[in-house]
Amino acid sequence: MRAASPRALLRAFRDMALVDREDENCGIVDDIEYREEQPGIWSVTALLVGPGAWQRRRPRWLTGILPGRRCVRVDAADIASTTNQVRLLKRGDELGLARVEHRLLRAWRKVPPIES
């Protein structure tokens, strides 16, 4: 995607849902990397996902409370399309996305049901 300013790119991508090629939710876009292709024309080079990506946006006092500094970089070449969500060409686990969510889901499935 291209835009006239980095702010326009940021507004377009930040907080968009990420969906992999198997229609699995992989998180949301927390930040982007961009470059100026030509004077006045900016393009996205990568999407940044995870607490490490939004760490600079949160207040300093909150940084100590919320754990995690992991940041996953998804290259622009791995983006299939963008509409109301960002669709990826690869599976989320291939890109290192949603690791914690998958770990929690596996642990939850192992917990026996509560009998009443």
Please give the CATH architecture assigned to the domain spanning 2-110: Roll (2.30)
- Listed by start position, the domains of the chain span 2-110
pLDDT of residue 97: 87
pLDDT of residue 87: 95
**10 Å Cβ neighbour count for 26?**
24
Ordered alpha helix ranges (H), 1-73: 6-13, 51-54, 60-65
Residuewise pLDDT in 10s, the chain (116 residues)? 788 888 999 899 989 999 999 998 888 899 999 999 989 899 999 999 987 887 766 776 766 666 667 889 999 999 999 889 999 999 988 998 877 666 666 676 776 766 65
pTM: 0.78
pLDDT of residue 54: 74
